[in-house]
């Protein structure tokens, strides 16, 4: 007979515990909440009241249901009140000693067949369990933040957890509307093991002043479709909690990428814990508020456009997917575009593709036939570089081969008027190499669009050590005028997005290779637990395993970071010709 779970206890009603108590109470299960003292109880109660008020405002709850929910939660400072509950979920801070002490006490107070669960994000459930007389009844029950919203729950089994305990907890998770995934006991389980390396990497970029907090966050939102940027997410998680999770992951993995970035400790010591204290990477209008307010680090964008060089005519070099998309985007925004191809046929081929795309937009009522005609009319095909002589900006989008690009830049240097901005769309080559092929390196910059350029909002604006400030301002201004979101970064492999994304994807492959979890569970954990638009294996298959491997190799070669070494499984799949969707087989089969 499955367990009934007539009532549950939650110990620690902070960021996570309060949300967990709300989730159980909302499903009709009475909750006994235990906190340290009356002040903590008042704060927890306020937290749950606010959260349910928001649910009320969003029509996710009515008044009667909210009252009943609040009535189902009792608050106490005494663990003895947990004597009769069927399950205890521990959600106190991420310290092993505190958790083992608590589990020892709980096992003395609670019923013999109670299930003791920890919401730890990274500590060993096995280690917590052995401090009780019944480790077979101990599991991890890892909710995601905010618990009332996020559907994923990782149910963590140890080598001694009884099967019926796992089954009952899985059934309970389903009953409260969550999507459980069962995992083994490894630091970070599935989602955090993959997420925190990425988060720490973003903090390191911020600490190194490689990019601003706004640009790091915008890059991942607009380049990858993530719901939040990494620094805003750490503010939500809590810097102290993030630090402890990274620290315990590091102790298990010994992977330098998990060693908490030093700035985290400094910010924690200064009391900047994130949203819960009203200040972390960003400043909020009040503790526990999601509303960001301007502070001393907020960039002043008012004068940026004033420094830009005037741009009327833009040259595009290339005839591939990116060049075609960029031509369309520029012409649609009203720029005169000179498209330089290696032959007239190729140039006309691009214009035909743009026409087809515009016709589609007209067919769907998104554009008038006159606008489509005017857009096409703004595009001039060319074969000779001299046709670009009067361009104010030239965007190079030829093959991803440095020799080919250098040749183009040498030709542009000879043909284009002085003062023009020369940009490359390279996604992985050093921009400075293109600059070095010219006699005007200060005018050369990276303008990295994402594929499909017509759809993706992000443009990474990559300045080299030589790029002039007004060249950067010009590209930012043009990106904004074509309704993209420009972010600035330095000339390093992977810029922002690929440098943050691909090591995470590679880590997922390594996790699969280690047989820790199945591809489907890993994809689910990242989609449901972190609200990412695609799981890592789905995304790798879309990008192409060969392309992904090449990017990962570039990152490894530039940074020589051991953790960036490409996963052997990725290399094998590429060798076997399983390149993802384009070959019909990758991590998944497409038939």
User: Measured from the CB of residue 144, what is the shortest distance to ligand NAD in angstroms?
Assistant: 6
**Beta carbons of 537 and 523 less than 8 angstroms apart:** yes
On the CB side of 572, CA atoms within 13 Å amount to 7
Do strands 152-156 and 138-143 pair parallel, antiparallel, or not at all (unpaired)? Answer: antiparallel
Site stretch for ligand NAD (CB under 6 A), options 91-99, 289-297, 322-330, 527-535: 91-99
**Candidate residues 9, 10, 15, 166; the one interacting with ligand NAD per rule CB under 6 A:** 15
> In the range 488-547, which residues lie near ligand NAD by CB under 6 A?
none
* Of 15 and 548, CB closest to ligand NAD: 15
Size of the site for ligand NAD (CB under 6 A): 27
* Of 279 and 340, CB closest to ligand NAD: 279
**Beta carbons of 317 and 396 less than 8 angstroms apart:** yes
**Beta carbons of 351 and 379 less than 8 angstroms apart:** yes
Contact call for residue 432 and ligand NAD (CB under 6 A): no
* Of 228 and 542, CB closest to ligand NAD: 228
User: Measured from the CB of residue 206, what is the shortest distance to ligand NAD in angstroms?
Assistant: 19
> In the range 94-113, which residues lie near ligand NAD by CB under 6 A?
94, 102
Find, among 278, 272, 250, the residue nearest to 192 by Cα.
Answer: 250
Distance from the Cα of residue 343 to its chain's centroid: 41
**Candidate residues 14, 129, 446, 486; the one interacting with ligand NAD per rule CB under 6 A:** 14
User: Measured from the CB of residue 387, what is the shortest distance to ligand NAD in angstroms?
Assistant: 55
**Candidate residues 10, 11, 172, 191; the one interacting with ligand NAD per rule CB under 6 A:** 11
Do strands 458-463 and 444-449 pair parallel, antiparallel, or not at all (unpaired)? Answer: antiparallel
Site stretch for ligand NAD (CB under 6 A), options 141-149, 154-162, 249-257, 506-514: 141-149
Residue whose token pair is 């047989």: 515
Q: Could you check whether the bond before residue 452 is cis, i.e. omega within 30 degrees of 0?
A: yes
* Of 77 and 368, CB closest to ligand NAD: 77
Cβ–Cβ contacts within 10 Å for residue 211, how many?
21
State the burial class of residue 66 (Cβ atoms within 10 Å of its Cβ: 0-12, 13-18, 19+).
Answer: middle
- Whole-angstrom distance, CA of residue 490 vs CA of residue 487: 10
* Of 121 and 426, CB closest to ligand NAD: 121
Radius of gyration of the chain (CA): 27
> In the range 17-36, which residues lie near ligand NAD by CB under 6 A?
17, 34-36
Contact call for residue 121 and ligand NAD (CB under 6 A): yes
What are phi and psi for residue 421, nearest 5 degrees? -95, 130
User: Measured from the CB of residue 514, what is the shortest distance to ligand NAD in angstroms?
Assistant: 23
Residue nearest to ligand NAD (CB): 14
> In the range 390-419, which residues lie near ligand NAD by CB under 6 A?
none
Cβ–Cβ contacts within 10 Å for residue 164, how many?
14
* Of 215 and 244, CB closest to ligand NAD: 244
User: Measured from the CB of residue 88, what is the shortest distance to ligand NAD in angstroms?
Assistant: 11
On the CB side of 175, CA atoms within 13 Å amount to 16
**Beta carbons of 329 and 350 less than 8 angstroms apart:** no
Site stretch for ligand NAD (CB under 6 A), options 117-125, 131-139, 411-419, 567-575: 117-125
Contact call for residue 464 and ligand NAD (CB under 6 A): no
Residue whose token pair is 């489907």: 520
User: Measured from the CB of residue 93, what is the shortest distance to ligand NAD in angstroms?
Assistant: 5
- Whole-angstrom distance, CA of residue 104 vs CA of residue 138: 12
**Candidate residues 8, 23, 48, 91; the one interacting with ligand NAD per rule CB under 6 A:** 91
Distance from the Cα of residue 23 to its chain's centroid: 25
Site stretch for ligand NAD (CB under 6 A), options 6-14, 355-363, 476-484, 560-568: 6-14
**Beta carbons of 94 and 12 less than 8 angstroms apart:** no
**Candidate residues 31, 32, 89, 92; the one interacting with ligand NAD per rule CB under 6 A:** 92
**Candidate residues 100, 119, 319, 506; the one interacting with ligand NAD per rule CB under 6 A:** 119
Site stretch for ligand NAD (CB under 6 A), options 14-22, 179-187, 505-513, 524-532: 14-22
Compute the Cα dihedral for 492, 495, 500, 503 and give only its sign: negative
Site stretch for ligand NAD (CB under 6 A), options 8-16, 222-230, 343-351, 484-492: 8-16
User: Measured from the CB of residue 519, what is the shortest distance to ligand NAD in angstroms?
Assistant: 23
Find, among 340, 199, 315, 311, the residue nearest to 264 by Cα.
Answer: 199
**76, containing H or E segment:** strand 73-76
**Candidate residues 40, 68, 70, 304; the one interacting with ligand NAD per rule CB under 6 A:** 40
Find, among 17, 273, 289, 248, the residue nearest to 143 by Cα.
Answer: 17
Contact call for residue 181 and ligand NAD (CB under 6 A): no
Catalytic residues: 121, 142, 154, 192
**Candidate residues 27, 76, 136, 145; the one interacting with ligand NAD per rule CB under 6 A:** 145
Q: What is the dihedral of CA 212, 218, 224, 226, to 10 degrees?
A: 110
On the CB side of 586, CA atoms within 13 Å amount to 22
User: Measured from the CB of residue 513, what is the shortest distance to ligand NAD in angstroms?
Assistant: 26
User: Measured from the CB of residue 94, what is the shortest distance to ligand NAD in angstroms?
Assistant: 4
> In the range 214-253, which residues lie near ligand NAD by CB under 6 A?
237-238, 241, 245
**Beta carbons of 328 and 370 less than 8 angstroms apart:** no
**Candidate residues 50, 80, 83, 93; the one interacting with ligand NAD per rule CB under 6 A:** 93
Contact call for residue 13 and ligand NAD (CB under 6 A): yes
User: Measured from the CB of residue 103, what is the shortest distance to ligand NAD in angstroms?
Assistant: 11
Residue whose token pair is 């600035």: 488
**Candidate residues 100, 107, 120, 585; the one interacting with ligand NAD per rule CB under 6 A:** 120
User: Measured from the CB of residue 247, what is the shortest distance to ligand NAD in angstroms?
Assistant: 11
Tokens describing residue 489: 């970064």
Q: Could you check whether the bond before residue 146 is cis, i.e. omega within 30 degrees of 0?
A: yes
What one-character DSSP code corresponds to residue 392?
Answer: S
- Whole-angstrom distance, CA of residue 284 vs CA of residue 570: 42
Contact residues: ligand NAD, CB under 6 A:
11-17, 34-36, 40, 91-94, 102, 119-121, 142-145, 237-238, 241, 245
């Amino acid at each position: 007979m499955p367990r009934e779970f007539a009532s549950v206890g939650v110990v620690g009603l902070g960021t996570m515990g309060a949300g967990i108590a709300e989730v159980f109470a909302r499903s009709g299960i009475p909750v006994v909440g235990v906190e340290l003292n009356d002040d903590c109880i008042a704060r927890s109660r306020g937290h749950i009241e606010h959260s349910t008020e928001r649910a009320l405002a969003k029509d996710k709850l009515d008044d009667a249901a909210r009252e009943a929910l609040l009535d189902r939660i009792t608050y106490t400072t005494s663990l003895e009140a947990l004597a009769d509950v069927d399950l205890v979920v521990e959600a106190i801070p991420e310290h092993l000693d505190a958790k083992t002490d608590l589990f020892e006490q709980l096992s003395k107070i609670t019923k013999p067949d109670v299930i003791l669960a920890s919401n730890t994000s990274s500590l060993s459930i096995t280690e917590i369990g052995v401090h009780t007389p019944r480790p077979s009844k101990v599991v991890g029950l890892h909710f995601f933040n905010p618990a009332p919203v996020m559907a994923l729950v990782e149910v963590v089994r140890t080598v001694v957890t009884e099967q019926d305990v796992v089954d009952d907890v899985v059934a309970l998770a389903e009953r409260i509307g969550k999507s459980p995934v069962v995992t083994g006991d490894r630091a970070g389980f599935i989602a955090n093991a993959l997420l925190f390396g990425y988060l720490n990497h973003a903090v390191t970029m911020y600490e190194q002043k490689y990019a601003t907090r706004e640009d790091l966050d915008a890059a991942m939102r607009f380049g990858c479709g993530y719901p939040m940027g990494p620094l805003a997410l750490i503010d939500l998680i809590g810097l102290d909690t993030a630090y402890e999770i990274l620290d315990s992951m590091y102790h298990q993995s010994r992977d330098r990428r998990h060693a908490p970035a030093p700035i985290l400790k400094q910010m924690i010591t200064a009391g900047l814990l994130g949203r819960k204290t009203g200040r972390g990477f960003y400043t909020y209008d009040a503790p526990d508020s999601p509303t960001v307010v301007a502070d001393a680090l907020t960039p002043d964008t008012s004068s940026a456009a004033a420094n830009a060089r005037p741009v009327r005519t833009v040259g595009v070099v290339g005839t591939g997917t990116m060049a075609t998309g960029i031509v369309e985007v520029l012409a649609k925004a009203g720029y005169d575009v000179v498209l330089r191809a290696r032959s007239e046929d190729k140039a006309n081929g691009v214009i035909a593709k743009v026409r087809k795309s515009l016709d589609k937009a007209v067919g769907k009522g998104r554009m008038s036939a006159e606008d489509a005609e005017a857009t096409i009319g703004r595009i001039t095909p060319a074969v000779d570089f001299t046709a670009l002589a009067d361009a104010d900006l030239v965007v190079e989008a030829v093959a991803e081969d440095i020799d080919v690009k250098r040749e183009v830049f040498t030709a542009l240097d000879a043909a284009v008027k002085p003062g023009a901005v020369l940009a490359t769309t390279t996604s992985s080559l050093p921009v400075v190499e293109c600059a070095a092929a010219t006699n005007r390196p200060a005018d050369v910059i990276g303008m990295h669009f994402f594929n499909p350029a017509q759809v993706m909002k992000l443009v990474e604006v990559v300045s080299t050590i030589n790029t002039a400030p007004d060249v950067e301002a010009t590209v930012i201004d043009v990106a904004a005028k074509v309704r993209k979101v420009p972010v600035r970064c330095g000339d390093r492999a992977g810029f922002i997005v690929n440098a943050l994304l691909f090591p995470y994807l590679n880590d997922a492959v390594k996790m699969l290779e280690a047989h820790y979890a199945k591809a489907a569970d890993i994809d689910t954990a990242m989609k449901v637990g972190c609200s990412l638009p695609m799981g890592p294996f789905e995304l790798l298959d879309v990008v192409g395993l060969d392309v992904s491997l090449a990017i990962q190799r570039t990152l490894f070669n530039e940074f020589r970071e051991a953790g960036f070494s490409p996963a052997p499984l990725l290399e094998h799949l590429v060798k076997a010709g399983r390149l993802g969707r384009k070959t019909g087989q990758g991590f998944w089969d497409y038939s």
